A and B are shown apart, each in its own frame.
Chain A
Amino acid sequence: MAAFSQFFVLSGRGDTIVSKDYRGDVVKGTPDIFWRKVQASRASRGGGAGPSSGVGLAALPPAFHINGLNFIHVARKGLYLVFTTKFNVSPVFAVELLDRFAAVFKDYTGELSEDKLRKNFVLVYEILDEILDYGWVQSTSSDHLRAHIVNVPEAAFGAGEGSSGGTSASTSGKGKGGIKAALAKFRDRAAAAAIKHGVAEPTSTAGVARTASSAAAQKPITLEHRRTGGDEVFVDLLERLIVVFGKDGSIVRSQIDGSIQVKAFVNGNPHLVLALNEDLSVGGAGDGYGIVVDDISFHEGVNLDDFDARRLVAFPLESGESTLMSYRLKSEFRTPFRVFVFLEEVSASAFDVVLRIRADFPNTTFGKGVRVSLPLPGSTYNATLDLPAGVGGQSYAYAKESKTMTWLIENFRGGAEHHARVRVHLDGPEEYAVWSQSVGPASLAFEIPMHSLSGLAIRSLRIIDANPNYKPARWVRYISHSNSYVCRV
């Protein structure tokens, strides 16, 4: 029986932001019970984690029970979204639904954040009222919910109709670019910090998984001057990469997790028809040609009548953001970057790390914000990085606390090769066998716009509507980015 007793959202400091009781079968004070558990798990992780730190957020397992009451939660953007239930529900269903809540909040308030939820709390309660009744899921589609939401969101998109909706969408769109860019940068930094400590930062995977988090993905250049308040459809093909290179340069693991996401601002009931590569095959070895994905899944609403024959995917458009399909492949693909690391002893207490990176993709595109992180031995006194003379758009930073060298290459043209030499000074003389063991692994974070690593492509994008003159603006974007890209030394 999939019935949830309560839903509530807590801030990273434990304040209840919204709370809704659906069944009245639960004791009072459940947010406090949950919060005590969070604090206990933070304390047990060494207490070093601050209240807003990702470490604390991630440490608590997503489901636990106390006195016959089950708590299931996800941590997103520094918030805890929590269900309580007395039933033995499906945890997978619950987590998926919590993420759906997060997505609906984002659709309506523009962003999932404590501030936005607080400012729009009446709207949020309206949503909560319609999404579940008596703990049963009623309706989760942003578009469908729209009919039942009367409060006007503050700085929302897609929720208003007519001209006012248009202008509010356009202003928020512009305003958001800046905030988003700043947030994305902040998050990158946070993620890098997390990697250094070898611990998880929950928002990095969760956030990146769902949307294109960078400014580029949110704000195509043409958007700025073309946006007239009219209807628009954005189709994003996102690919996240997991690659691990072994010490000998061999590929230990490589995987692409791709998805096609649609963000629409539309009226009426238009259908979206996407044509994918005709040589796409699913599962098995294929015939050696074309793109072979291991598995593929589709949104419930997708019409696949023409998928087998012509690789057409039809989808009824609704305003808001939704994932149309996702796919996964492990078969051979060209890893976009190869990293070579060489260690050279300089003196008894100093050594060099030579980093050489080659971009293995067409020179028509480039890697954006390529960030190489290299953990150095605990006995490192200081480290500097030498770049070849005359290069621009590159910088480095050495973080003393975490002993990590970070090398940033703003734009990495396809086919190009960059190298740098890291000079490491140790606290005192040390043997090669000792320090060489504690260098690395190097990890890369990057984004490659307008490039699909799997080769999957959107060959055409059509909008079909009863009104033949209905022509919303359409955008197709490709983004490949790193999820976990590691080279062992």
Chain B
Amino acid sequence: MSVLSEANKLKQQLNMCLDSKDAELRLTTIRKVIQNMTLGMDMSLLFTEMIKAAVTRDLAQKKLVYLYLASYAESHPDVALLAVNTLQRNAADVDPMVRGLALRTLCSLRLANLAEYTIPVLANALGDPSPYVRKTAVVGVVKIAAVAPNAVAAAGLLDTVRLMVQDVSPAVVFNAVMALHEIAAPQGGIALTEKLVLYVFNRLREFDDWAQAALITLCQDFVPSSDEQRYALMDVLDARLQNLNSGVVLAAISMFLRLTQDVPEMHAQVLARVKAPLITTLSRASPEMAYSVLQHCRLLADRAPAVFADEYTSFFVLYSDPPYVVELKLALLEQIVTPDNCSAIIAELAEYVRDVNPATATRALRVLGSVGLALVPAAKYVLRELFSFLDSTTPYVVDGAVVVMKDLVRKYSDLAPHLLDRIPAILPRVADPGARTVLIWMLGEHGEGLERAPYMLEALVADFESEDSPAVKLQMLTSCMQLFLKRPGEMQPILGQLLAVATADNSVADVHDRALFYYRLLEEGPDAAREVVMAPKLFVETFAESEHPELVDTLFDEFNTLSVVYRAPSETFIHQRAPYVLGKTRFGGDPAAFDSDTDSDDGGFVAPAVDSGAPPGGSSPVAEALAPAESAPVRGDLLSLDLGATPVSSAGPAANPPNLGIESELTGAANLTQGRFQELWQAFGRGEEVEFPIQAALSMEQVENTLGAFRIVCMASGSVEPHLAKFFFYGQTLSGDYILMQLVIDTAAMSGSAVVKTRSPILTKFVSTVVNVLSAASMRAASAGTPAAAAAASLI
């Protein structure tokens, strides 16, 4: 209620000052509206007033209004049309800044039904004398292509953008390349022709650092045709390694690695070359940056640990490092330890155990243990530190040291007596079950070397009932058994007592069962028991690596991306590979139908065409390799669905006026991959089927745009036969349910048929909306006017 009254109050106030001359008050009021809007209050009530306020010479006011329009247009497509007029006029203003602003706002409205108004403005702006307007227009083309791809293609805007790759202004060039790359995303992005890559690299210094980073990344998969070319590219990249912008440095490193990955000896040189800039980036960086850079260092160290071996001090922990940085630094130290640097690294790790918080201390202890296991020459240093920790007054340090030592004892068995000697002093002080288990394990495994071992076990057995940890109890059973077999005389009464209490203990089934098992084993005789309990141990040579080398290879392919930071390949977290699959992927049983398809634009999207001599798209093996894998199989499978058998539904053409409410129940951010579409389509079972007449032929683009205005997104479309157009649409309700639709428009029979599948209750409303708007659109197309105008008119 309060939001509504606030909106009403502002509406009144705005109405009042729109007519007055008080520019200051007007600005304050509008500012207040925007402020409320950014706080999440619904200010859409003021749409009409705000559109009026857009008619002004005051640039500050204009900007505010534009911000408002861009925020609300998508949710109020019907009224957004009102703003178009003003924006169109401003896009022809004398001031290039006003032109650019108006254009940006116009293209940000994200409404397919406005495309026909926007496209002429865009076409004009692409040739604007101001680079500011031109670069904005290029981005505008992509924005409109996202909602009305076919209209953009039909207007030939992409050809213009392609020419603009050669614009004088680097900002325009950058946007043009990015635009072509994004539009060609379904095909794996812009084709990396030699011409394009060399052109970009020749002009690289003209771009600002951000554009450089983005362009290098875009070009990084280019495969040079000769070694000279490779060296030339590396020369350009080498200078980038000195850039202050870490984004540029990492992009250059990434391309360096790719350029040399098939030339092993150069690859090694490159790794050595990129070390210094990487460490520099690390040293001047914030913790957030350090985190990303360290992850990349880890990956490089996975492949070539020696590279960082002499830079180990760079990975020493600082007091100001947050936990996530500490974690990575410790992991890196573990990776890069060598016989040469191990004593310094181990001494440093030992400091972390003594000085800092428990989490770091425990982690550092674990790293010490792994270093001791992995590197035989390091073991003596590690052990010296570990033994000194046994005297610590800090409980978690003693516990951690004991736990780590177990693995070391298993590998270096001559170590056992030394640890054994310390047990009598340590055992009473240790409370942690994990550490106690280790000490008791020692008494069983190596108890023959300690005179007092049976007496220590005796004391433990006496306290058996007060022991909380089942793991400790289990270990007591095993250790007493083991020691009994080695020193039966001393152990017999102790073991007897233990088995008695343990078999009587029903609180933990495992303990009870093991006690019983040992008891019965002993009934079989000591030899049988010896065979089971004292079975020869496997000598621990190496411990299994936690990560597979395949992961490292995958991550290397995705160097300088989030994959490295997450340490997971991108398919585990990127759901959207190509941004504009919608409406772009054509399916077809009959390829000939495409060739004759006049608005086909597939070839046009791909070719970068720095000049007219550029080869057609898809020629680059790299681009093909990058193409989304899911697009291929979907086509055939979707087609195999039986379409012809769609029976006539009882629901005839609705007589009621077009229902315009459905878009308010659908989200504008619906996003479905083809694979998922297919899964859902099968999962939803039979759907609602409907057939309806149409009055005139509708082009595929008209159908897509008409439904697009209602947030019903086209997944794929194509002509099955000259008179048969087939579409797959989907929408998502605000509650998250998907609605899937297969639509066939038959211009020979003048009918449309749809199969709609969903679990959402708005199914009926959805079906009637589709039928109504398509009937209405066809009716207008039949009556008069251009088809496009009719499609748009049906919405008002």
Contacts and interface: CB of A to CB of B under 8 A. Distances in A.
Interface string A75-114: 1000000000011111111011111000000000000000
A90 B561 contact: yes
A25 B64 contact: no
A186 interface: no
Judged by DSSP, the binding face of B is helix
Interface in A295-313: 295-300
Contacts of A147: 97
A16 B313 contact: no
A68 B324 contact: no
Shortest beta-carbon contacts, A-B, top 4: A93-B247, A68-B575, A58-B322, A137-B210
Contact of B565 (A1, A2, A91, A252): A91
Interface in A120-145: 121-122, 125-126, 129, 133-134, 136-141
B565 A63 contact: yes
A202 B561 CA distance: 24
Interface string B460-502: 0000000000000000000000000000000000000000000
Contact of B280 (A86, A96, A328, A483): A328
B139 A133 contact: yes
A139 B171 contact: yes
A206 B276 CA distance: 22
Interface string B209-246: 11111100110000000000000000000000011111
Nearest to B276: A295
Interface residues of B, number: 106
A488 B351 contact: yes
A62 B210 contact: no
A297 B280 contact: yes
Contacts of B246: 92-93, 95-96
Contacts of A483: 318, 320
Contacts of A97: 210, 247
A381 B372 CA distance: 39
A201 interface: yes
Contacts of A91: 292, 295, 561-562, 564-565
Nearest to B327: A61
Given A2-B217, A74-B288, A150-B63, 15 more contacts: A1-B185, A61-B324, A68-B574, A90-B247, A93-B247, A96-B246, A122-B31, A122-B64, A133-B139, A133-B175, A138-B171, A200-B325, A252-B313, A252-B344, A441-B355
B357 A199 contact: yes
Contact of A58 (B34, B64, B247, B323): B323
A92 B250 contact: yes
Interface string B245-283: 111111100000000000000000000000011011101
Contacts of B286: 74, 95, 99, 202, 205-206, 209
B669 A70 contact: no
Given A68-B576, A137-B211, A326-B280, A61 B291 contact: yes
Nearest to B732: A27
Interface in A1-58: 1-3, 16, 18-19, 24-28, 45, 58
B465 to A, nearest CB: 33
A466 interface: no
B104 A133 contact: yes
Nearest to A440: B355
A134 B212 CA distance: 18
Contacts of B167: none
A45 B322 CA distance: 12
Interface in B496-537: none
Contact of B319 (A68, A96, A443): A443
Contacts of A61: 291, 324
Contacts of B360: 198
Contacts of A150: 59-60, 63
B38 interface: yes
B392 interface: yes
Contacts of A16: 38-40
A194 interface: yes
Most buried by B among A1, A86, A242, A325: A1
A198 B570 contact: no
Contacts of B292: 62-63, 91-92, 95
Given A137-B214, A328-B284, A24 B668 contact: yes
B250 A93 contact: yes
A73 interface: yes
Interface string B379-396: 000000000000111000
B570 A252 contact: no
B104 A25 contact: no
Given A133-B139, A300-B245, A198 B60 contact: no
Contacts of B142: 134
Contacts of B322: 58-59, 199-200, 202
A191 to B, nearest CB: 8
A356 to B, nearest CB: 21
Interface stretch (A155-163, A253-261, A331-339, A398-406): A253-261
Contacts of A326: 244, 280, 284
Contacts of A194: 319-320
B195 interface: no
A297 B104 contact: no
A168 interface: no
B219 to A, nearest CB: 13
Given A16-B38, A202-B322, A257 B576 contact: no
20 contacts: A59-B322, A62-B565, A65-B562, A91-B295, A92-B296, A93-B214, A96-B245, A129-B67, A137-B214, A139-B171, A139-B208, A198-B355, A198-B357, A205-B286, A252-B347, A252-B348, A257-B283, A295-B279, A300-B212, A484-B320
A330 interface: yes
B320 A255 contact: no
A200 B60 CA distance: 42
A201 B319 CA distance: 9
Nearest to A283: B276
Contacts of B574: 68, 86-88
Contacts of A327: 280
B436 interface: no
B719 interface: no
B558 interface: yes
Contacts of A125: 34, 38, 63, 67
Contact of A24 (B63, B104, B110, B139): B110
A204 interface: yes
B287 A202 contact: yes
Given A63-B562, A92-B289, A437-B354, A253 B313 contact: yes
A438 interface: yes
B711 to A, nearest CB: 12
B573 A65 contact: yes
Given A24-B669, A300-B244, A437-B393, A1 B182 contact: yes
A137 B296 CA distance: 23
Interface string A221-252: 00000000000000000000010101000001
B213 A93 contact: yes
Interface string B528-566: 000000000000000000000000000000101111111
A148 interface: yes
B329 interface: no
Contacts of B356: 198
Given A24-B74, A200-B321, A488-B351, A121 B287 contact: no
Contacts of A323: 244
B570 A95 contact: no
A137 B217 CA distance: 14
Interface string A411-444: 0000000000000000000000110011001010
Q: Which of A70, A200, A483 has the most CB of B within 10 A?
A: A200
B319 A486 contact: yes
A159 to B, nearest CB: 14
A136 B209 contact: no
B208 A300 contact: yes
Interface string B168-200: 000100110010011001000100000000000
